[in-house]
C-alpha cells in the first residue's frame, strides 16, 4: 500500500500580449517586471492554443501566455497583477482537457504549467518510500511509470492518465477505485500552493489546513462496493458500470469478436444494456486465489447467464486503457472535436428515477450523437467534506458521465439535451451535483455549492481577494 503526496505548484502563468477582442491591454499603465517580460508570449499560435480546450466549445483569448521557468515567475506575475489598479485575471493551464473553458483567461494571462516540467531537470517526480512528491504540471502516466519502477503505485486514478496532477486535483480525480480509496484529493498529504496574493504556502491537514482544504476540489454496483465497507479481502480493486444503448456506433471492442453478434442482438432487443466492469489486482503471490475471489464477488449478482467476460492484462495496460482508445480516435480525426460533456453525482436513493427519466427516456428517445455513458458508485466516507469539492448528500452516491462527442453543428442540440437532463432532475427533486462543471451564472454557482458557498467564498476572499485566479469557471463573475 502506498499513499502519496503531491507538491502542487498551484499556478503559473503569464506571458504574452496581443490585443484581445473587446479587452484593453492589461499592462498599459505599468509594464511587467523586467525579468518576467521575456517569459510572456504573444505569439498568435500560442495564444490560440491557450484559447481552446478538449471541449472545443468555449474560445477565450488571453492577452498573453506565461512560460514560467520556476514558481517564482508565477508569484511575480500574481504580485504584478495585484499591484495594478485594474488587476488582470490569471489561469493555470495543465493539459487543457477541461470542456468548458476552465483553464482560460479572457484578456488576462494563461500560465502554461507544462513549462515548469522542462525546467525541473527530471526532478518533477520524486518517489519516496511512502509517498511521491510531484510537480502539479506532471501528468499521471509519468507518475505511474516512475512509481512502478520502485514497485509502488498511487491507489486512486482517473480513467485517462494524460491529465495533469494539478488539473485533476482541482476537481477531485475519480474512477472505479474511488469507492475504495477515495478520490485523488483524499490521497494528498501535502501541497505547495501559490495564492491569489502571490504567497507561497506549504499546507497539509495539520499545517495551513484552511488553504489545503480550499484548493482540493462525484444497482448491483452497491453490492460490489459493500465488500469494501465490510473490509472483506475479496473486495474488488475497481468498479465501474457503463451502458450500451441501441444507438450507433456501438463500441464492443472490449468483448471477444465471436461474442459481439450476440451482444448486439441483446442491445437491439432491450435498447439499453447495463454492464459492470470489475477489476481484481493480483501478483505472483496471489494468483492462485484470484479466480476464487472473483467468483465470490460476482456471486449473487443478477446478470444474464453466459454474459460474463474476462480479460487478463498488465496493471499499466489496465490503467492506461483510455490512451489506446485515444490513438484510435486520433487516427480517425475524432479526438479533437467538440465534447459537450455532462458529469454528475446522484444520490443512490434516486438512481432508479434517474435511469428511467434520463437514460431510458431523454437520451434514448432523442436522435442525437452518441458517446459513452458511465455510472459508478462511491462511498461518501472516502471523501473529506472540508475540501472544496461538492458531492451528493448521501452515504452512497453515483457518478455518471454522459460523455458525448459532437459535430460542430450539433453542439447546441447536445447542450439543450444536457439542460433538459438538469431540468428533469430539478423538477423531480433529484438533488444532483455537477462534477467538472463550468459555464454557470453566479447564482448557479451559489446553488451548486449550497451550504458550502459561504465557506468557499470566504476562502476566496482570504487567499485571492482581488479574484484574479481561475476566471475560466466564472464563479465570481
Ligand atoms: P486543465 O484543463 O489544464 O485545467 C483544469 C483546471 O485546473 C483549471 O481550472 C486550471 O486552472 C486548473 N489547474 C491546472 N493545473 C493547475 C495547477 N498546477 N495548479 C492549480 N490549478 C491548476 N476526470 C476524472 O475525475 N476522472 C476521469 O476518469 C476522467 N477522465 C477523463 C478523460 C478524458 C479523455 C478527459 C478529456 C478528461 C477526463 N477527466 C476525468 C476530467 C479531467 O480530470 C479534468 O478535466 C482535469 O481538470 C483535466 O486536467 P488538465 O491537466 O487537462 O487540466
Between 41 and 218, whose confidence is greater?
Answer: 41
Grid coordinates representing 229 are: 465497507
For the cut 60, the answer to whether the pLDDT of residue 228 exceeds it is: yes
| pLDDT at res. 223 | 67
Looking at the fold, whether 390 and 471 belong to one and the same domain comes out as no
- Domain span holding position 304: 221-437
Express as a percent the part of the chain with pLDDT over 70: 92
Q: Ligand 1 centroid vs 184 CA: distance in angstroms?
A: 12
Q: Say whether 259 is catalytic.
A: no
pLDDT at 266: 92
Residues 132 and 234 in one domain: no
Q: Phi first, then psi: what are they for 133, rounded to 5°?
A: -100, 115
What mean pLDDT is predicted for residues 382-389? 92
Gap from CA of 268 to ligand 1 centroid (Å): 36
351 ligand 1 Cβ < 6 A = no
Q: How confident is the model at residue 193 (pLDDT cuts 50, 70, 90)?
A: very high
pLDDT of residue 59: 95
Query: Residue 187 and residue 79: Cα distance in Å, rounded?
Result: 31
Say how many Å lie between the CA of residue 438 and the centre of ligand 1.
12
Residue 249 confidence (pLDDT): 77
Q: Are 271 and 192 in a shared domain?
A: no
Average pLDDT over residues 142-161: 96
CATH number of residue 42's parent domain: 3.30.465.10
108 Cβ inside 6 Å of ligand 1:
no
Arithmetic mean of pLDDT, 319-346: 94
Secondary structure E strands in 183-341: 191-194, 200-203, 238-245, 272-279
Whether residues 9 and 69 share a domain: the answer is yes
Ligand 1 within 6 A of 52 CB? no
Is 97 marked active-site?
yes
Question: Which CATH number belongs to the domain containing residue 336 in this structure?
Answer: 3.40.462.10
With a CB cutoff of 8 Å and minimum separation 6, the contacts of 242 are 274, 275, 277, 372, 373, 374, 375
CA of 335 to the centre of ligand 1 (A): 16
Best residue for ligand 1 mutational test, from 51, 161, 163 (most atoms within 8 Å of Cβ): 163
Query: Does the CB atom of residue 100 touch ligand 1 within 6 A?
Result: no
299 Cα to the center of ligand 1, angstroms: 37
Pairing of strands 109-112, 90-93: parallel
Please say if the pLDDT value at position 286 is more than 60: yes
102 lines ligand 1 (CB under 6 A): yes
User: Do 267 and 376 belong together in one domain?
Assistant: yes
Asked whether residue 270 carries a pLDDT value surpassing 80, the answer given is: yes
Expressed in angstroms and rounded, the spacing between residue 136 Cα and the centre of ligand 1 is 11
What number does the ligand 1 atom closest to the CA of 339 have? 36
For the question of residue 464 being annotated catalytic, the response is: no
- Looking at the fold, whether 114 and 184 belong to one and the same domain comes out as yes
Q: What is the pLDDT of residue 218?
A: 31
Nearest CA to ligand 1 atom 37: 97
Higher pLDDT, 313 or 254: 313
Q: What is the mean pLDDT of the chain?
A: 89
From the list 53, 73, 76, 240, the catalytic residue is: 240
Q: What is the rounded average pLDDT of the residues 245-256?
A: 84
Q: State if residue 94 touches ligand 1 by the CB under 6 angstroms criterion.
A: yes
Ligand 1 contacts CB of residue 132 (under 6 A)? no
Total number of domains constituting the chain: 2
Ligand 1 centroid vs 137 CA: distance in angstroms? 11
pLDDT in tens, 39-53: 999 999 999 999 999
User: What is the DSSP code string of 51-99?
Assistant: T--TT-S-----SEEE--SSHHHHHHHHHHHHHSSSPPPEEEESS---S
Atom of ligand 1 nearest to the CA of 164: 51
Q: What is the mean pLDDT of residues 179-208?
A: 95
Q: Is the pLDDT of residue 23 over 80?
A: no
- Give the distance (Å) from ligand 1 centre to CA of residue 76: 24
The residue nearest atom 20 of ligand 1, judged by CA position, is 10
pLDDT at 250: 82
Distance CA 4, CA 117 (A): 19
pLDDT at 288: 85
Same domain, residue pair 460 and 348: no
* DSSP-H helix ranges across 313-437: 315-319, 321-331, 351-354, 364-365, 411-427
What pLDDT, on a 0 to 100 scale, did the predictor assign at position 42? 97
CB 170 less than 6 A from any atom of ligand 1: yes
Mutate to test the pocket of ligand 1, among 73, 89, 111, 164 (most ligand atoms within 8 A of CB): 164
| Nine-digit cell string for 311 | 480479460
Please identify which of the residues 67, 159, 190, 464 carries the catalytic annotation: 159
Confidence at residue 367, expressed as pLDDT on a 0 to 100 scale:
74
pLDDT digits (tens, 9 = 90+) for 55-96: 999 999 999 999 999 999 999 999 999 999 999 999 999 999
Q: Percent of the chain beyond pLDDT 90?
A: 69
pLDDT confidence band for 29 (50 / 70 / 90): confident
For residue 170, which atom of ligand 1 is closest to its CA? 7
Average pLDDT over residues 91-109: 96
Same domain, 225 and 371: yes
Is the pLDDT confidence value at 221 over 80? no
Q: How far is the CA of 122 from the centre of ligand 1 (A)?
A: 22
Residues 455, 416 within the same domain:
no
421 CB near ligand 1 (under 6 Å): no
Q: Are 270 and 161 within one domain?
A: no
Over the stretch 155-167, which tens digit does the pLDDT of each residue have?
A: 999 999 999 999 9
Instruction: Give yes or no: residues 95 and 208 share one domain.
Output: yes
**CA angle (160 as vertex; 273, 50 as ends), nearest 5:** 120
* Residue owning the nearest CA to atom 5 of ligand 1: 167
Neighbours of 365 (CB within 10 A): 7
Task: Judge whether residue 435 has pLDDT over 60.
Answer: yes
Binned at pLDDT 50, 70 and 90, residue 18 comes out as very low
- Answer yes or no: do 50 and 166 share one domain: yes
The CA distance from 122 to 2, in Å, is 22
Closest-CA residue, ligand 1 atom 16, reads 166
Residue 20 has pLDDT above 60, yes or no: no
Amino acid at each position: 500500500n502506498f499513499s502519496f503526496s503531491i507538491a502542487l505548484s498551484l499556478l503559473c502563468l503569464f506571458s504574452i500580449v496581443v490585443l484581445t477582442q473587446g479587452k484593453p491591454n492589461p499592462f498599459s499603465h505599468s509594464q511587467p517586471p523586467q525579468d518576467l517580460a521575456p517569459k510572456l508570449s504573444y505569439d498568435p499560435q500560442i495564444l490560440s492554443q491557450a484559447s481552446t480546450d478538449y471541449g472545443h466549445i468555449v474560445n477565450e483569448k488571453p492577452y498573453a501566455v506565461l512560460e514560467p521557468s520556476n514558481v517564482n515567475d508565477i508569484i511575480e506575475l500574481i504580485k504584478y497583477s495585484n499591484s495594478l489598479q485594474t488587476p488582470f485575471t490569471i489561469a493555470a493551464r495543465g493539459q487543457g482537457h477541461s470542456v468548458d473553458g476552465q483553464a482560460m483567461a479572457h484578456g488576462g494571462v494563461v500560465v502554461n504549467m507544462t513549462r515548469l516540467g522542462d525546467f525541473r531537470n527530471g526532478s518533477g517526480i520524486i518517489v519516496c518510500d511512502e509517498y511521491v512528491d510531484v510537480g502539479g504540471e506532471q501528468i499521471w502516466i509519468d507518475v505511474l511509470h516512475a512509481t512502478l519502477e520502485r514497485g509502488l503505485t498511487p491507489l486512486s486514478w482517473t480513467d485517462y492518465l494524460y491529465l495533469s496532477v494539478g488539473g485533476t486535483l482541482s476537481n477531485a480525480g475519480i474512477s472505479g477505485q474511488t469507492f475504495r480509496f477515495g478520490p485523488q484529493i483524499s490521497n494528498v498529504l501535502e501541497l505547495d500552493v501559490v495564492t491569489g496574493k502571490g504567497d507561497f504556502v506549504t499546507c497539509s491537514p495539520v499545517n495551513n489546513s484552511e488553504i489545503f482544504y480550499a484548493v482540493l476540489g462525484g444497482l448491483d454496483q452497491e453490492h460490489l462496493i459493500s465488500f469494501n465497507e465490510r473490509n472483506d479481502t475479496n473486495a474488488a480493486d475497481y468498479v465501474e458500470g457503463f451502458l450500451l444503448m441501441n444507438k450507433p456506433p456501438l463500441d464492443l471492442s472490449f468483448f471477444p469478436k465471436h461474442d459481439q453478434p450476440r451482444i448486439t442482438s441483446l442491445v437491439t432487443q432491450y435498447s439499453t444494456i447495463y454492464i459492470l466492469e470489475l477489476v481484481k489486482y493480483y501478483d505472483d503471490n496471489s494468483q492462485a486465489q484470484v479466480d476464487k475471489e472473483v467468483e465470490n464477488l460476482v456471486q449473487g449478482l443478477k446478470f444474464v447467464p453466459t454474459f460474463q467476460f474476462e480479460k487478463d492484462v498488465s496493471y499499466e495496460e489496465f490503467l492506461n486503457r483510455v490512451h489506446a482508445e485515444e490513438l484510435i480516435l486520433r487516427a480517425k480525426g475524432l479526438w479533437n472535436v467538440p465534447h459537450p460533456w455532462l458529469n454528475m453525482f446522484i444520490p443512490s436513493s434516486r438512481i432508479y428515477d434517474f435511469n428511467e427519466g434520463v437514460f431510458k427516456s431523454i437520451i434514448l428517445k432523442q436522435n442525437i450523437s452518441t458517446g459513452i455513458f458511465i455510472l459508478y458508485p462511491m462511498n461518501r466516507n472516502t471523501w473529506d467534506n472540508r475540501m472544496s469539492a461538492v458531492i451528493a448528500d448521501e452515504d452512497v452516491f453515483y457518478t455518471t458521465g454522459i460523455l458525448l462527442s459532437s459535430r460542430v453543428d450539433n453542439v447546441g442540440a447536445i447542450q439543450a439535451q444536457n439542460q433538459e437532463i438538469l431540468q428533469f432532475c430539478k423538477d423531480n427533486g433529484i438533488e444532483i451535483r455537477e462534477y467538472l462543471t463550468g459555464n454557470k451564472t453566479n447564482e448557479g454557482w451559489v446553488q451548486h455549492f449550497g451550504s458550502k458557498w459561504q465557506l468557499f467564498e470566504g476562502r476566496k476572499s482570504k487567499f485571492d481577494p482581488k479574484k484574479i485566479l481561475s476566471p475560466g469557471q466564472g464563479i465570481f463573475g
